[in-house]
Amino acid sequence: MENIILSLILLKPMTIYEMRAYIQQNISTVCSDSLGSMQAAIKKLIEKGYVIVTEYVENNTIKKRYSVTSEGVKYYKGWVGTPINIQKMKSMEAGKFFFLGIAPGEKRVAFLKAYISDLEEEHKKLLVIKDYVDKTQDTAITMNTKRIKDDPVLEGNLLEVSGEKTVEAAVTNIDNYQLYMLEYGLAKIQADLNFYNKILKRELKGGKK
């Protein structure tokens, strides 16, 4: 969670609610949007000196906006681009399927049908997002490039971390990999649908292949 937050505020200082909204809209399939988890992560980042908080008033309400520090940029530069730790991607929920054979037949079928239904809904949601991204990608790159260029601190941080010579190149790379992640999500869900539908058919045949 700490590194996700750093990734977000490296590109734009945000309130915790803006971060949460971004996670819900874009990466909810791989990241929790729990306010408790986010608050705990932000607290750790502040203690490490990687993030600073600025208070401001909006509509008579005091709000907190979080920004990355130079130390945070230094840490992030060392972290970003390192190989994914496959051990951290494992889920305890997957163990439920491993032991599903213990459950009665009707519960196994209900489990599979419910999970397939959830996968289908998630697949539909990602398809809508991909359609929108495909139509707006060029505009989004142009707008984000301009926004970052208008803030010398953001521009400097992004160029330092990315190693690119221009903001345009850095923003294009970011946008491309976010699209790759979306494509990965779609491919993974489709593969899961194929697999679990196959198992469901076996269950409905009485366990025969």
Divide the 209 residues of the chain into consecutive groups of 10 and give the mean pLDDT of each group: 93 94 82 89 96 91 94 93 77 83 94 96 92 92 95 94 95 94 93 96 82
Q: How far apart are CA 12 and CA 29, in angstroms?
A: 22
Are 116 and 67 members of one domain? no
pLDDT at residue number 30: 73
**AA identity, residue 143:** M
Q: Which domain holds residue 42?
A: 1-87
Are 76 and 128 members of one domain? no
Are 97 and 194 members of one domain? yes
Tell me which of 87, 110, 130 is where a domain ends.
87
CB 136 within 8 A of CB 128: no
pTM for this model (two decimals) = 0.83
Structural domains of the chain, count:
2
pLDDT at residue number 91: 72
Tell me which of 64, 87, 110 is where a domain ends.
87
Q: How far apart are CA 84 and CA 155, in angstroms?
A: 26
Are 75 and 96 members of one domain? no
pLDDT at residue number 33: 85
Question: What does 150-167 look like in DSSP terms, one character per residue?
Answer: T-HHHHHHHHHHH--SSH
pLDDT at residue number 139: 94
CATH (domain of 68): 1.10.10.10
